[in-house]
Amino acid sequence: MGCGNSKNQIHVVSTGTTVDNTKTGVTLKNNDKSLNDTRGGSASSKASKHSCDSGFDDDGYNKVITESSKPEKIKQIEELFKIPRDLELGVVGQACPQRLSAKDKERLQEQRILATLQQEGLITRPMSRATFGVSFEVIEASSVDNGFLPRRPPARLAKLEKRKKKRKLTEEEIQAKMARAEERRKEREQQRLAKIQAVTMKSDITNALSSQTAHQETVKTETKAKIDQALENREKRMEELKEKLRRKEEHAEAVRRRRALAPIQTNDEEEAELIRSRNFTEDTPIPMIKP
């Protein structure tokens, strides 16, 4: 027995009913006629005595009982028939799933996962918020046996339970607690002082390092300034020496030029003196020497 029709179906039909087998293509009709006259007595038909289809013989239809069957056969079947007890009826097959969109599939998958987690007790049902009043959830004790875990009480209730269990302390216990509290206070004070000393020492070291760094920077700046001044003075002296050498060279060049021109002037003067002496000799009469 499945979702669709089985391969062979056997029915007890009455007048005017139809037995249809979609997979074998066999259709049985009875309208106050015998099974052998189903084809209507066609001359060209090759109907079989045991089948309503031409040339088709199915042993399963030999057990079909109708009102046209023999009375002895019908009576025999009725006597042998027993009502079965403890019948186990079931539907075998798989239902055709409904086509869902991708969004609906994701939502359905999430709902299945949440339902599984709730059944396993990993998550609880979300608390419903009311517009007014107080909302609460009641969990039965039998739910633990069914696999559901009850919700734990909040932590503040556990603290309240501890407070309720407190008893009255004796004087010795009070003194001991006060002594322990004093020790804890002294220990915290020592830790605070140690932290302050560490911070102070660290600040002193930092100040010393910063002052040393500043002194080094000052020395470096002064040294650089001195080096720059020395370089500037050196360049100035070099310029002065170059200028002095240039002037000395110019003076020497002038002296050499004068010395080169001096012989020419001397020769010119000698020639002029000779010419003057010649002219004087020609123009001057020779004096007469008296005896």
Q: How far apart, in Å, are the Cα atoms of 61 and each of 22, 32, 78, 81, 117?
A: 15, 18, 18, 18, 53
Rounded Cα distance, 29 and 18, in Å? 5
List the domain range (segments joined by +) for residue 37. 18-80
Instruction: Determine, yes or no, domain membership for 44.
Output: yes
Which element (helix H / strand E) includes 118? Answer: helix 102-120
**Which distant-in-sequence residues (6+ apart) come within 8 Å of 118 by Cβ?**
124, 125
Instruction: Determine, yes or no, domain membership for 57.
Output: yes
How wide is the angle at C-alpha 7 spanned by C-alphas 4 and 12, nearest 5°? 90
pLDDT value at position 54? 47
pLDDT value at position 17? 43
Instruction: Determine, yes or no, domain membership for 112.
Output: no
Q: How far apart, in Å, are the Cα atoms of 127 and each of 119, 124, 147?
A: 17, 9, 20
Rounded Cα distance, 48 and 41, in Å? 12
Instruction: Determine, yes or no, domain membership for 203.
Output: no
Q: Dihedrals φ, ψ of 27, to 5°?
A: -125, 125
Residues of the chain with pLDDT below 70 are 1-63, 124-153, 155-156, 158-166, 263-270, 276-291
pLDDT value at position 278? 64
pLDDT value at position 76? 85
pLDDT value at position 145? 52
Instruction: Determine, yes or no, domain membership for 137.
Output: no
**Which distant-in-sequence residues (6+ apart) come within 8 Å of 108 by Cβ?**
100
Q: Count up the domains in the chain and report the number.
A: 1
Amino acid at 273: E
Instruction: Determine, yes or no, domain membership for 262.
Output: no
Instruction: Determine, yes or no, domain membership for 60.
Output: yes
- For the chain, how far is it from start to end, CA to CA, in angstroms? 203
Best CA proximity match to 6, nearest among 19, 17, 18, 21: 21
Instruction: Determine, yes or no, domain membership for 71.
Output: yes
pLDDT value at position 170? 86
**Which distant-in-sequence residues (6+ apart) come within 8 Å of 2 by Cβ?**
91, 92, 93
Q: Dihedrals φ, ψ of 129, to 5°?
A: -95, 130
| 91 contacts 1 by C-beta, under 8 angstroms | yes
pLDDT value at position 230? 92
pLDDT value at position 140? 64
